[in-house]
């Protein structure tokens, strides 16, 4: 397992659409393991493979509370089958350090994917789990949180990210 560097906005690789995973093998399981270590170290509740520079259709989420056991979920080649309702959630992103904004998303989703063993599953989710699934799936399609806002808010977020990245250097 290894902690991988997380790409920060405006890295152009964040805009690339991820490719489907052809075969779930040991190299994919190693990537998933590295992604989990990276996400927990950051810390975050979700991470897409393209955020660590790997343009494959993989994301992970873990929405467990700090005091609860891990609830890591792996989604390989995810497909959102259904979405309904509306909810607003304060969202942050590991690729947008220091930024947190309210975003409207579907309240419930149904997703189909493969797990790290290559087994197909479907999951119905609501609340934070539904938000995390939609958010990370957006990443796989090159859609970023900044795309959800008007031009003024995008400039403001761009400045926030630049300051946060500069502070990390």
Q: What is the CATH number of the domain that holds 21?
A: 3.90.45.10
Beta bridge partners of residue 60, listed in sequence order: 47, 74
Contacts of 22 (CB under 8 A, 6+ apart): none
In a domain, 98, yes or no: no
Whether 94 maps to a domain, the answer reads no
Alpha carbon distance 58, 77 (integer Å): 6
Rounded to the nearest 5°, which phi and psi values hold at 17?
Answer: -80, 130
Of 30, 107, 136, 166, catalytic: 136
Q: Residue 169 above 70 pLDDT?
A: no
Number of domains in the chain: 1
136 is catalytic: yes
- Residue 44 neighbours by CB distance under 10 Å: 19
pTM score, whole prediction: 0.91
Q: Is residue 150 part of a domain?
A: no
pLDDT attached to residue 154:
73
The whole domain housing 76 covers: 12-88+106-144
In a domain, 30, yes or no: yes
Determine what percent of the chain is predicted with pLDDT higher than 70: 96
- The C-alpha angle 141, 13, 5, rounded to 5 degrees, equals 110
Compute the distance between CA of residue 83 and CA of residue 100 in angstroms, rounded to an integer.
23
Cα separation, 13 vs 8, whole angstroms: 10
H/E stretch holding 155? helix 151-168
Q: Residue 3 and residue 44: Cα distance in Å, rounded?
A: 13
pLDDT tens readout for residues 119-140: 999 999 999 999 999 999 999 9
Residue at 42 is within a domain: yes
């Amino acid at each position: 397992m290894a902690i991988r560097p997380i790409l920060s906005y405006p890295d152009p690789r964040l805009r690339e659409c991820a490719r489907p995973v052809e075969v779930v093998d040991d190299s994919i399981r190693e990537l998933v393991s590295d992604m989990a270590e990276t996400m927990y170290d950051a810390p975050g509740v979700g991470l897409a493979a393209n955020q660590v520079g790997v343009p494959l259709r993989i994301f992970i989420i873990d929405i467990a509370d700090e005091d609860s056991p891990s609830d890591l979920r792996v989604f390989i080649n995810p497909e959102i089958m259904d979405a309904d309702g509306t909810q607003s959630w304060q969202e942050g992103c590991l690729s947008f350090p220091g930024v947190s904004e309210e975003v409207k998303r579907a309240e419930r989703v149904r997703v189909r994917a493969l797990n790290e063993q290559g087994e197909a599953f479907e999951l119905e989710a609501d609340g934070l789990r539904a938000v995390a699934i939609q958010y990370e799936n957006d990443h796989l399609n090159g859609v970023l949180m900044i795309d959800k806002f008007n031009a003024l808010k995008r400039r403001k977020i761009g400045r926030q990210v630049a300051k946060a990245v500069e502070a990390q250097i």
